[in-house]
Amino acid sequence: MAINVSWVDQNKEIVLIKYEKRWTWDEFQEKVDATNALISSVNYPVVLIHDTLQGSVLPPGNIIAQGKMAFAGAADNVALIIVVVNSSMIQTFLSLVAKFIPNGRGHIIKTVSSLEEAYQLSQEARANPS
């Protein structure tokens, strides 16, 4: 599979979605659903990290609609969504998508340029829950 989903830690506080090679929007939606089920299996805040550094270019289709649908449908106990991306275009896209997330949850979406930064931000968020 080109998108892999797993818990990062034994405490089940961080979920990592790792994009590798080419993927499709259908596969993306399938993994979004699987991720939501995984996160909903616990009853405490969880950090979600999307690592896109090894993925290929985005597949054709309505990127804004796909992103909005995925982020808006995130499990209620997602405390923070961190997207690891090295493209300023994608960072701009994510900031636009975040503005249109219903229920005021767009503020939980952050972008960083390395997985190390994502883990650091995750640790800070878990140490200082809002």
Q: Are 72 and 98 in contact (CB under 8 A)?
A: no
Rounded Cα gap, residues 19 and 83, in angstroms: 11
pLDDT at 94: 74
pTM equals 0.85
Integer Cα distance of 14 and 5 in angstroms = 11
**What pLDDT was estimated at residue 56?**
67
Enumerate domains of the chain plus CATH numbers.
Answer: 15-112 (3.30.750)
pLDDT mean by block of 10 residues, the chain; 130 residues: 90 93 86 92 94 78 70 81 84 73 72 92 81
- What pLDDT score does 104 carry? 62
Side-by-side strand order, sheet with 109-112? 3-7, 14-21, 46-55, 78-84, 109-112
